[in-house]
Structures are given as C-alpha cells and as structure tokens.
Chain A
Amino acid sequence: MSKPSNEGFFWLLFSAGGVVAAVFIPVLLFLFGVAFPLGWLPQPSYEHLLTLARSPLARIFLFVVCSLPLFHWAHRFRFTLYDGLQVKHLNEAIFVLCYGGALVGTLLSGYLLLKI
C-alpha cells in the first residue's frame, strides 16, 4: 500500500493492444492469408497495395496495428515471466525487456512505414 503507480498507463496500452489485436489482426489474416491466396476475393495488385499503404490514414492504421499489440504482448509476457517463473527479483529487468522490446518494435515499424 505504497507509492502511486503508473500501472494504469501500461494497462491502458495492454488493453488497447488487446482490442486492436482482436479486432483487426484476424481481418488482415483472413484477407491476406486466406481470402486473397485462395482466390475467394480478387487479389489486389502490388502497386495498388503500395499506393494504399503510402496514404497517411493507412500508415497510421498499420502503425497502430503493429505497435499496440506489441505493448499487449509486453504486459502479458511480463506477468507470465513474473508469475510463471516467479522471478520477482528480476522484475525491473523483465520490465525493461518487455516494454523496451515493444518500444523497439514500435520504432522499427514507424521507420519502415515511413520508408515505404
């Protein structure tokens, strides 16, 4: 029962990432992993997708879809390590590893999305 915590911030990222992952990733997987390859839907051309991906809205969307689920993973994995392996003394290292990993992934996706 001590210091006020910023846990709410990480929980919001976790929560938002979970929603994004649950709502959008199955749609993307269905379209690009099943429907297009099997010919259920007409396959868009590479040029068409590239133009689409370069539009600002698509970039923001892809950035959100890449970044937030990483923070969802970070939170889940942090508690999986924390409770599952019961390595309480490594809590700070785990914290840095998980959220740091998500941050690196976020920066990388931002960089790649800007470059396309």
Chain B
Amino acid sequence: MMNWNLYSRGDKFFAMVVSVLIGMFTVATLYPFIYIAAVSFSSGFAAQAGKVVLTPIDATLEAYGYIITDPKFWISYRNTFIYTIGGTIMSLIFIVPCAYALSRPQLKGRRFFNLFIAFTMWFNAGLIPFFLNMRDLGLLDSMFGIILGFAVNAFNIILLRNFFESIPQSFEEAARMDGANDFQVLWKVFIPLSKPAIATITLFLIVARWNGFFWAMVLLQSEDKIPLQVFLRHTISNLSDDDEFAIVQTAAGFSAETVTAAIIVCSIIPVLIVYPFVQKYFEKGILLGGVKE
C-alpha cells in the first residue's frame, strides 16, 4: 500500500470519491436485508400499504408468532440441519480419501481416474436422466437420497487433490519410517497439514447444503422431509395466492409480506452468526480454486 502523505491533492480527492462510491454500493447491498427485517417486525397493515422503508411501522411480533407456532416451520428447520450436517460429513468421507488417493504418484491409472472425475465438470446428463436415475434407485422422497445423491462433486476433489500434491514429501517420510500405512499418513500427516483447504471445502459444502433448494423441491414430496428453503418457497407462493389467509391475517396483525419476511430473517440468522468466523477461509479458498492441474 502507498503512503497517504505521498498523495497529491488530486489523488486524495480521487480516493475520497472512490470511498464514497464503495460506501454507496455497500449500503445498497445491506439495505434489502434491513428492509426485510423492518417488514418482518411491522404490522400486516403497514407492510401491505407499503409504508415500511427503514424501520418497523407499528412494531409487532405477530408474524414471528405465526411462524413459530407452525410445527412445519420447526420440522423443516430441523431437516435443514440434518441435511447440512449429514450431507457435509458424507461428502468429506468421500472427498478426502479420494483426493489423497489421486495425489499419490504410485496410483495406477491416475490419469484415467483424474479424467473420469473431471469429465463430470464438463459434461452432465442433465435434469431428466438424473431424476429418472434417482427414481430407479428408489431414492425419491428419501432423506438419505438427498444426502447421498449430492455428496460428491469433482471440483472439491480436484481442489483438495491439488492441495495434497503441494505438500512436500519430507512431511510424509518421517511417518513412513515409523511404519505408518496410507490411512495413518492421511489422518496424521495430510489432514492436519491441510486444515485451511479442508475448512474451505467444508464451508462450500455447508453453504451448498444450507441453501439447497431445487432438488429438494423436485425429489421430496412428504412435508415432514422438506428443508427450510422448500418450506419458505411453499409459504411464499401459498400466502400470495391464498385469499382466505388474506382475510384472517388482517385481523391478526400480520400479512403475507410480514410472514415471508419473518421466515427470511429466521433462515438468514444462522448464516449471519457463522459468517464472520468463516470469512478468512473463503477468501483463501476461492484462490485455492485457481490452482492449476
């Protein structure tokens, strides 16, 4: 970085203008979240009339009261945790050993296996054959199907394999001297040395699972199996179509808008809590992704 004192007056002015523009973009990024939070705490009447701009109008917790008394909300919240935790663990069980194996020079057919995995990044059969395959495997409307069927992706394997390949051999040799086998080398040498890379991949996996929507919507029919995102979608489309709801809500003090906003707030909160802790990892991680084969 350059020294501020070396800046000419023109440079200082330029830096000020840029800082203001950055500030505007930041506010524009943040504002929709603030707006949604304000709507969620407003009365249904105020929200429907479009009176909410920055702060809650006629502040009330009615919308939150409506959703937290809905058992389907809690079931879907629980399911999202199951999919996120179960799915992430399942993914790591596949990805980490596979990346280790692919990083071994003595692996026979290494080129073939690399290509076999990477090919799926460039060509995939598409929605319909994937769906029909899941149906043939009996994995429709199955929580286990969601966890297993989306466990692996080529990108994460290649990312971790590249990281493993960059670990100098000398780290491994000491362990080999003590008679360690491959499982022990992976567990005691590679995994501890790769914590940042594994943390990054884990983060990507968690985010993908937490946000997963499309396939959960397509593959799951039972209401007690759907994740939060699908529940949220159902709520948004039902509330806006349901005339009966419109009559009930006005008396109750909430509206389709405030309930939708309240669910959005509830599903963002865990992300906001975890977000500051993981930020340093994803900045590194996206750069790891640029490591060449």
Real complex partners, A and B? Answer: no
